[in-house]
Structure 1
């Protein structure tokens, strides 16, 4: 894990597939407050590795929304779409270690051959192509071999978490045949390259953490501490998302949006805050008290 003595570096990494909704603001606010409470740096990274889902101009909308809420990156914004060579180098390292193999399975074939795992809720890849492509099949993706055994980590919000990645998830895809890089590889490499010490994000990404840490360990990278904060759900119990049509947050009333995100994190409203700046100052103090962050570490 990253040393507690390392200078704190946090990040918010939205996908530019549309404007921020309230659920996104919850994650952004939590990560920003944690960085400020520790006296650290807060970075914004655009996770546009999935080209087909990227909406032109959405990155600038997101940055403008964050600025309206009083949150701006402490360094230049990094775009995953400009980092293909870095991901290629990581894939080459894993290939040299004998851990990468081509997979010719379709999603339907995997669905038909692998039941949903009772714990992870995912369909583990059954390892069909581990010993080679089936006759007449070409590669549809490149997978990395996941080691056997249970991987555990301490989540700062949810406590100890464990997952047998090989059994519950299987070998994960790192690159598709169309050249698209998998989020699981890109996020691990980017966090390491940016010196991220702490990841604060939504609980929907909790299930990805073990596989990301296993991949990071395989590459010899430091592992950031993690905190997964509660999700916002709609009236049907679905998490707010761009895919589900969640409305963009109204940054014309920044204090309203910030208070909504703050209470969604389980805190009482801050009625004395009359501006976004005042709110962020008070919220940082309250966050520091809630998580027992010592002033010497801030």
Structure 2
């Protein structure tokens, strides 16, 4: 991939302030893009209103700016892109690749939550829309960090939702449409989203869209092994003093602590970090917990 064509992105959901796990994903994706001399984009994934926190998106953008991580292009907000998602969905419906589903969650319990066929005679006024996944649909890809991955999408995931019964667009559809629209060439994100990748590649193929490369970064967990988005330990990073948190993220990305640059300014430090960054050192998994990071990089809960 030539340096001039690389396009990466960071896509947070506005469910609260940026915690250390979010910073790790942002910094890792930024380093990948900068080392490739490509573009780095920010996209706000605000398509799930019940989970969103008022003003969280603006706070996240301010925090990123304080850390020197600024989008190279105007920030895209998914809440403003419904027409594009509708166009993609209509295309799938017209081809028979998507269908209305009147099943409830309780209907799927017997199958482990995997949808393979709709319940006969079931009708509801607000059906979901699902993508049809034929039997034997197996998707394989090579992740830049995690290595060779293969998933039997039909057996492990089943027909998956594109638009929810309560109205919002499903993450899988929105992310596929937007990655293609923004010309993203490599998706760098947390390993918690690794399981979504095969179904996204399958959806890309159904829509006739190119598949980007993927690199799933290690997670930082709390003392109980929970990822930060589901942990009470997910305190916001301290944007008044960004360098300690960036240094901790550098270490969590597998980089040698001794290679962390000591520039006179944040901008100089970030520029030197790009030169010193070695993607080959990123671990496929991490035993890093917040216990070793809280004192250095997050706001005191008090």
TM-score between both structures, scaled by the size of structure 2:
0.87
Question: Which residue, out of 276, 280, 287, partners 1:286?
Answer: 276
Question: Which residue, out of 131, 135, 142, partners 1:144?
Answer: 131
For 1:106, the equivalent position in structure 2 comes to 104
For 2:144, the equivalent position in structure 1 comes to 156
User: Does the Cα contact within 8 Å between 2:4 and 2:37 map onto a contact in 1?
Assistant: no
Is 1:209 equivalent to 2:207 in the alignment?
no
Q: Greater relative contact order: 1 or 2 (C-alpha under 8 angstroms, separation 6 or more)? A: 1
For 2:182, the equivalent position in structure 1 comes to 194
Question: Which residue, out of 199, 203, 208, partners 1:220?
Answer: 208
- TM-fit CA distance, 1:180: 0.6
- TM-fit CA distance, 1:223: 0.5
For 1:175, the equivalent position in structure 2 comes to 163
Question: Which residue, out of 59, 62, 66, partners 1:61?
Answer: 59
**Closer, same or farther: CA 137–51 of 1 in aligned 2, 3 Å:** closer
**Closer, same or farther: CA 36–135 of 1 in aligned 2, 3 Å:** closer
User: Does the Cα contact within 8 Å between 1:46 and 1:79 map onto a contact in 2?
Assistant: yes
User: Does the Cα contact within 8 Å between 2:34 and 2:274 map onto a contact in 1?
Assistant: yes
- TM-fit CA distance, 1:103: 1.4
- TM-fit CA distance, 1:290: 4.0
Following the alignment from structure 2 to structure 1, what is the Cα–Cα distance between the partners of residues 223 and 231? 15
**Local SS of the residue matching 1:241:** helix
Following the alignment from structure 1 to structure 2, what is the Cα–Cα distance between the partners of residues 92 and 6? 34
**Closer, same or farther: CA 110–274 of 1 in aligned 2, 3 Å:** farther
Q: What are the Cα deviations for residues 66-111 of structure 1, in whole angstroms up to 9, with x where unaligned? A: 0111110001000000001110000000001111212122222212
How many corresponding residue pairs? 278
User: Does the Cα contact within 8 Å between 1:200 and 1:229 map onto a contact in 2?
Assistant: yes
Q: Which runs of 5+ in 1 are unaligned?
A: 116-122, 292-298
Following the alignment from structure 1 to structure 2, what is the Cα–Cα distance between the partners of residues 153 and 192? 18
- TM-fit CA distance, 1:288: 4.8
Q: Which runs of 5+ in 2 are unaligned?
A: 282-302
Following the alignment from structure 1 to structure 2, what is the Cα–Cα distance between the partners of residues 97 and 142? 14
- TM-fit CA distance, 1:279: 2.6
User: Does the Cα contact within 8 Å between 1:101 and 1:144 map onto a contact in 2?
Assistant: yes
For 1:232, the equivalent position in structure 2 comes to 220
**Closer, same or farther: CA 135–237 of 1 in aligned 2, 3 Å:** closer
For 2:25, the equivalent position in structure 1 comes to 27
User: Does the Cα contact within 8 Å between 1:103 and 1:139 map onto a contact in 2?
Assistant: no
Following the alignment from structure 1 to structure 2, what is the Cα–Cα distance between the partners of residues 65 and 135? 47
Following the alignment from structure 2 to structure 1, what is the Cα–Cα distance between the partners of residues 69 and 164? 35
Following the alignment from structure 1 to structure 2, what is the Cα–Cα distance between the partners of residues 41 and 215? 25
Higher helix share: 2
TM-score between both structures, scaled by the size of structure 1:
0.88
